[in-house]
Chain A
């Protein structure tokens, strides 16, 4: 069971923008390894029944801290230069050294969150300037006017959230789901994706909020429009060595496309097409095309690498079972109200 500290996410996200490191032992190993590129001698292994074999536990850690939307001043520049990457590698190494230091500076700001080194860190610098890769400016297309009016539930990072009810919080904070994109986009921890294949199925087990996506590969049709879910209904097929997963039948107005399922909730018109292409023994290219004609003015594409790392594995993420954050947020808000009421009553007297 992992403890969750939503209030600290903002701080960690800022720290994450500087980027970070891995578990110390893995880092020492990874730092010497050149950024992942496909090895020339590598060829896609096949399962005994002839499908491309994508099995293993993959993580999107390397792009932790890379923004979804590219800063406008970078224009259409998707990749950092080698020089910039070397600089960022240096930042990772400094961050790693900081993480090994257990002392807290006397003037350190004390917050309610955990120390930053509790999060996962990238093992090598992310080559991309943004997670959105299409349109060419790397920015999420505009919302439709009706989508702008859609309420966005309270995400992580607000130390003084509206907490009238659990329903004010995001589906992630409630430990229900982060949606399909939110369950694979790189965040502060729990980015593991374990792929298990059988003849006719690909199953992806995702650490955070313990999702399990069972993807039939036999071309069967989606269920009718009245069977809807947070994670949607996936159908897969192979295009060469690429696993293509088309997902529909989403619930209306639940999670958004952003990190941890944040942002404007998508609708029942959402259709995702993901492509998983292994590019080396420990490297995979992931991309997802987001098409929600009731939310965005046009479809867009997000992409980032997944890697396999020595010793990396999924752990049970018993989110709801250990959701003290929800108790604390709600009971804290009620305590504040009682305090305010007592104060007001005192003034009257």
Chain B
């Protein structure tokens, strides 16, 4: 029992350390036989996935910090974490950098997550909630536990975004074993994290999902937006398959957890 536990702990630690040390799990260690496939030979991403780490607090390197509300004590405090932004920082224009600081100062008021608004892309993928991928022979559905947000990646002919939305319009294609998802039509209201890092309605995201083995996806997103960044930049992290035998996508309809905050001053006195 003790040995098994110790092995488990060591293994987890090894995974975490490796994941922290290298962005993405080494492709060399990969054996294609380990990867689940669809009948047509494409990798099968179907399953329940979740990111570890504290990127949803801040996608850049950050130390631990207190909760904005002392009443929450250690419950609401921010864990430290290595950033998922390649190269460390986000190449904001000076104006955009100032806006990010302002966002941060007012984050409890402005972060869409506080109000249970849809998280947008790429944030939905590395919040601390699982999400389910349902991969068909055609389209691929992403159902996120947080706020029941969802999107369907269109794998057919490219569809132009009909209208700007929170979750954007996702068009996918395969490059070998990599699922490439082009996201446009984002409405610009989404943040990348709880630290005010933000996008605009011109932001264009290209996600790349690659199965490192049966239980890990190397996830990366290239972010491009000339209006607020001086150059394209990239974030990357690892998505882990939820392996508990009874793990499933649950319901987190957070609207009712935010109503007092949003409408409280309009309640009859």
Binding site for B on A (CB under 8 A): 1, 47-49, 55, 163-167, 174-177, 194, 196-203, 205, 209-212, 214, 216, 220, 223, 227, 229-231, 314-316, 318, 320-321, 326-327, 330-331, 333-334, 337
Task: Quote the shortest CB–CB distance from B36 to chain A (angstroms).
Answer: 9
On whether the beta carbons of A214 and B267 are closer than 8 Å, the reply is no
Among B118, B134, B136, B266, which residue has its beta carbon within 8 angstroms of that of A330? B266
On whether the beta carbons of B253 and A177 are closer than 8 Å, the reply is yes
CA distance in complex: A333, B269 (Å): 12
Residues of the B chain whose Cβ atoms lie less than 8 Å from the Cβ of A220? 246, 248
Residues of the A chain whose Cβ atoms lie less than 8 Å from the Cβ of B138? 55
On whether the beta carbons of B118 and A321 are closer than 8 Å, the reply is yes
Residues of the A chain whose Cβ atoms lie less than 8 Å from the Cβ of B166? 1, 316, 318, 321
Residues of the B chain whose Cβ atoms lie less than 8 Å from the Cβ of A321? 112, 117-118, 166, 189
On whether the beta carbons of A327 and B263 are closer than 8 Å, the reply is yes
**Residue interface mask B236-269, A partner, CB < 8 A = 1:** 0000000000101111010110010001001110
On whether the beta carbons of A48 and B250 are closer than 8 Å, the reply is no
**Given A55-B136, A196-B136: A203 in contact with B246 (beta carbons within 8 A):** no
**Given A227-B250, A318-B118: A212 in contact with B141 (beta carbons within 8 A):** yes
CA distance in complex: A227, B248 (Å): 11
On whether the beta carbons of B255 and A198 are closer than 8 Å, the reply is no
Among A55, A163, A229, A337, which residue has its beta carbon within 8 angstroms of that of B250? A229
Chain B interface residue number, banded: 35 or more
Q: Tell me how many residue pairs across A and B have CB atoms closer than 8 Å.
A: 126
Residues of the A chain whose Cβ atoms lie less than 8 Å from the Cβ of B137? 47-48
Task: Using A212-B132, A316-B165, A330-B266 as known contacts, list a sample of 19 further A-B pairs with CB atoms less than 8 Å apart, ordered by residue number in A.
Answer: A1-B166, A47-B137, A48-B38, A164-B267, A165-B267, A176-B256, A198-B133, A201-B134, A205-B150, A210-B118, A212-B148, A223-B248, A314-B152, A316-B163, A320-B255, A321-B112, A321-B117, A327-B263, A327-B266
On whether the beta carbons of B141 and A199 are closer than 8 Å, the reply is no
Residues of the B chain whose Cβ atoms lie less than 8 Å from the Cβ of A318? 117-118, 165-166
**Residue interface mask B146-174, A partner, CB < 8 A = 1:** 01111010000000001101110000000
- Which of chain B's residues has its CB closest to A317's CB? B165
B200 at the interface (CB under 8 A from A): no
Residues of the B chain whose Cβ atoms lie less than 8 Å from the Cβ of A174? 255-256, 259
A-B contact pairs, 27 of them (CB 8 A): A47-B137, A48-B38, A48-B39, A49-B38, A164-B268, A166-B259, A167-B259, A176-B253, A199-B38, A201-B132, A202-B134, A203-B132, A209-B148, A210-B149, A211-B148, A214-B143, A214-B248, A220-B246, A227-B250, A230-B251, A231-B251, A316-B165, A320-B116, A321-B117, A326-B263, A331-B266, A333-B268
- Which of chain B's residues has its CB closest to A168's CB? B268
Residues of the A chain whose Cβ atoms lie less than 8 Å from the Cβ of B248? 214, 216, 220, 223
> Which 8 A-B pairs give the minimum distances between C-beta atoms?
A229-B251, A212-B143, A330-B266, A316-B165, A48-B39, A164-B268, A203-B134, A198-B46
Task: Quote the shortest CB–CB distance from B57 to chain A (angstroms).
Answer: 22
B61 at the interface (CB under 8 A from A): no
Residues of the A chain whose Cβ atoms lie less than 8 Å from the Cβ of B189? 321
CA distance in complex: A49, B36 (Å): 13
B40 at the interface (CB under 8 A from A): yes
On whether the beta carbons of A212 and B150 are closer than 8 Å, the reply is yes
Task: Quote the shortest CB–CB distance from B154 to chain A (angstroms).
Answer: 10
B44 at the interface (CB under 8 A from A): yes
- In this complex, the member of A48, A164, A196, A326 whose beta carbon has the largest number of chain B beta carbons within 10 angstroms is A196
Task: Quote the shortest CB–CB distance from B79 to chain A (angstroms).
Answer: 27
CA distance in complex: A93, B118 (Å): 39
**Given A49-B39, A164-B268, A165-B267: A197 in contact with B116 (beta carbons within 8 A):** no
CA distance in complex: A58, B39 (Å): 26
Which residues, 26 to 68 on B, are CB-close (under 8 Å) to A? 38-40, 44, 46
On whether the beta carbons of A316 and B266 are closer than 8 Å, the reply is no
Task: Quote the shortest CB–CB distance from A75 to chain B (angstroms).
Answer: 41
- Which of chain B's residues has its CB closest to A231's CB? B251
**Given A174-B256, A230-B253: A201 in contact with B46 (beta carbons within 8 A):** yes
B128 at the interface (CB under 8 A from A): no
CA distance in complex: A166, B135 (Å): 38
Residues of the B chain whose Cβ atoms lie less than 8 Å from the Cβ of A334? 266, 268
**Residue interface mask B122-134, A partner, CB < 8 A = 1:** 0000000000111
Residues of the A chain whose Cβ atoms lie less than 8 Å from the Cβ of B140? 196
Task: Quote the shortest CB–CB distance from A341 to chain B (angstroms).
Answer: 11
